[in-house]
């Protein structure tokens, strides 16, 4: 009976982590939507999503602490709960950075062009990384978690491509400094989201194997 109750609580924890991950994906996707007219809907929507992410972090932290104190899990269960407790911090940071991106995009300085397309590409990549890292946690799949860690190189390459494009842009005529600076800032925030997603994947690997790579965590 006690074990059954504990397993139900673990299932509820997993569901909440999935929901928080979905909120992160939603925040990233919304943050890079470029509106054709001046409208505060975009940034307000992203901020509201971030507020839900913050609340999710608090709820999951409370849930994890109750499990640790009341159930006193050991071995694999302990790693699973501990990993979730650590993962939600990086998920909150993802939400915060998506909100920052939304603020920048809403200023309307970023213009159509190759840089814009690369930003959208980067955002799609990190959304995929978030999805895969959460799936790896749910299914306890070490292979999927390692895929996320490796895929971060692709996001870094995207960031390098944007920097090279901006160098070319600055060498041309009619340079819009606000456009270039905002593109670079958004790209950097997306790169950081990728880094936080790698941290999540590494905590997933820890929950499965007990081995922790602390280089970035």
Q: What is the pLDDT of residues 33-80, one digit of tens each?
A: 764 445 567 778 888 999 999 999 999 999 999 999 988 888 999 999
Q: Which of 4-13, 27-36, 64-73, 181-190 has the highest mean pLDDT?
A: 181-190
**In the chain, what is the straight-line distance between the N-terminal and C-terminal CA atoms, in Å?**
37
Q: What is the pLDDT of residue 5?
A: 84
Q: What is the pLDDT of residue 87?
A: 97
Q: What is the pLDDT of residues 132-154, one digit of tens each?
A: 999 999 999 999 999 999 999 99
Within its chain, how far is the Cα of 215 from the centroid? 18
pLDDT band at 168 (very low <50, low <70, confident <90, very high): confident
Residue 11 has pLDDT above 60, yes or no: yes
Q: What is the pLDDT of residue 45?
A: 87
Question: Which residues make Cβ contacts (< 8 Å) with residue 156, sequence separation at least 6?
Answer: 191, 194
**186 to each of 45, 106, 119, 143, 197, how far by Cα in Å?**
18, 12, 8, 30, 17
Q: How does the average pLDDT of the chain come out, rounded? A: 90
Compute, in degrees rounded to 10, the torsion defined by CA atoms 129, 132, 137, 141.
-120
More confident residue, 124 or 2: 124
pLDDT band at 213 (very low <50, low <70, confident <90, very high): confident
Q: Kindly state the percentage of the chain with pLDDT values over 70.
A: 93
Q: Which residues of 154-171 are buried (b: 16+ CB within 10 A; e: fewer)?
A: bbeebbebbeebbeebee
More confident residue, 106 or 124: 124
Q: What is the pLDDT of residue 177?
A: 86
pLDDT band at 167 (very low <50, low <70, confident <90, very high): confident
Domain ranges of the chain: 2-209
Domain 2-209, CATH number (from 3.30.930.10, 3.20.20.70, 1.10.10.10, 1.20.58.220): 1.20.58.220
Q: What is the pLDDT of residue 10?
A: 93
């Amino acid at each position: 009976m006690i074990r059954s109750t504990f397993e139900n609580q673990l299932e509820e924890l997993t569901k909440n982590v999935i929901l928080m991950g979905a909120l992160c994906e939603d925040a990233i996707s919304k943050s890079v939507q470029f509106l054709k007219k001046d409208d505060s809907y975009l940034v307000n929507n992203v901020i509201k999503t971030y507020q839900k992410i913050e609340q999710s972090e608090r709820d999951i932290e409370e849930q994890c602490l109750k499990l640790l104190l009341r159930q006193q899990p050991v071995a694999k269960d302990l790693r699973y709960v501990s990993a979730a407790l650590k993962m939600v911090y990086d998920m909150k940071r993802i939400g915060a950075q998506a909100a920052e991106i939304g603020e920048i995009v809403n200023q309307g300085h970023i213009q159509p062009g190759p840089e814009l397309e690369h930003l959208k590409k980067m955002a799609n990549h990190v959304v995929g990384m978030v999805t895969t890292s959460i799936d790896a946690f749910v299914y306890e799949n070490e292979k999927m978690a390692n895929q996320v860690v490796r895929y971060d190189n692709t996001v870094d390459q995207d960031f390098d491509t944007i920097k090279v494009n901006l160098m070319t842009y600055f060498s041309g005529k009619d340079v819009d400094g606000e456009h270039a600076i905002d593109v670079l800032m958004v790209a950097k925030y997306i790169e950081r989201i990728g880094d936080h997603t790698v941290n999540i994947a590494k905590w997933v690997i820890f929950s499965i194997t007990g081995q922790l790579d602390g280089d970035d965590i």
